[in-house]
Amino acid sequence: MWLLLASAPAAIAHHSFAMFDQGQTVVLKGVVTEIQWTNPHAFLHVQVADATGAANWQIELNSPNNLRRQGWKSNSIQVGQRVTVSIHPLRDGSHGGLFMSVTLPDGSVLGEPAGAARGPVNVPKVD
């Protein structure tokens, strides 16, 4: 019983992923401008060329602890690298999303292999 009560604040503190459209996949190609290897979630910032010039996308990753367990290191991705990133975009249309995978310049893939750089995908929503 005590263990259940002790874990309740951590469960309550975690945010929902409802802000991401998990029925959509967007593939971004750009240059890494920043990596935030921080808790509770790491973030990847990628500058992507668009019709107005360039937009900086903020991509939410897992926690550094979970990323390490998945084989990442804090230097797995470097500022200045050209990358291809697959994300679930933010529902509000702003430049951000939930990380699925990243393809590095050498062709290696970090993240969910099923989400790797396969192009825009529209997946039907399941109610």
CATH T-level topology, domain 25-122: OB fold (Dihydrolipoamide Acetyltransferase, E2P) (2.40.50)
- The whole-number pLDDT of residue 26 equals 93
Residues 23, 50 contacting (CB under 8 angstroms): no
Of how many residues is the chain composed?
127
For the cut 90, the answer to whether the pLDDT of residue 121 exceeds it is no
For the cut 50, the answer to whether the pLDDT of residue 54 exceeds it is yes
Residue 6 — very low, low, confident or very high, per pLDDT cuts 50/70/90? Answer: very low
- The whole-number pLDDT of residue 20 equals 81
Task: Copy the structure tokens of residue 42.
Answer: 């790491």
For the cut 80, the answer to whether the pLDDT of residue 114 exceeds it is no
| All structural domains of the chain with their residue ranges | 25-122
For the cut 70, the answer to whether the pLDDT of residue 122 exceeds it is no
- The whole-number pLDDT of residue 45 equals 97
